[in-house]
Amino acid sequence: AGHGSTFWFTVPLGRGAGEARLLQPSPDLRDRRALVVDDSATAREVLAGMLTYMTFRVDTVTRGEDALDRVAAADRSGEPYDVVFLDWSMPGGIDGIETARRMAALPLRAQPRRVMVTAHGRAEVFQEGGGARILATLVKPVSPSLLFDTVIEAFGVTRAKESTVRHTGLPDLAPL
């Protein structure tokens, strides 16, 4: 009494019969080209660093006009950008929405996916964008997981709801 109890037991567990999980996202994002357009050096560096870590080949520019030139040149060279991240508010030139509109109007063989990056939380405004064809919106501050999810969304992948318990070989438990 007063000391508690100690219990031990052995449970033999085997491997589950389910199929193995594929840990590489589909589509494969390795070695894709990305362009980050932002007038803030810090924002460019952070976003480019996260994309590089995700194995993207990343270029950066500070202005919308420069982005249009880079996208056109990349398309002509046969190595187009797969995705372009556009800061919404870029003073001293055209903003992200206008850059996206002009990009959509370029006679490119392959249009890059466009993602708006903003500190303002009204994503629906950017996605409507009057011909800008913006596929997704990132609201700052951007975390690696949010960036990854947004990139996957921009590439047209929707997530199916999945169970968090996988192939344990244990029976499913009824909810309480």
Judge whether 16 and 163 are in contact, CB under 8 Å: no
Task: List, run by run, the mean pLDDT of 10-residue segments along the chain (176 residues).
Answer: 84 78 70 95 95 96 96 97 93 88 94 91 55 83 92 76 41 45
What is the chain's alpha carbon radius of gyration, rounded to the nearest angstrom?
23
Token pair listed for 21: 């999980």
**pLDDT score of 5:** 85
DSSP 148-164: HHHHHHHTT--PPP--S
User: Rounded CA gap, 76 and 80, in Å?
Assistant: 8
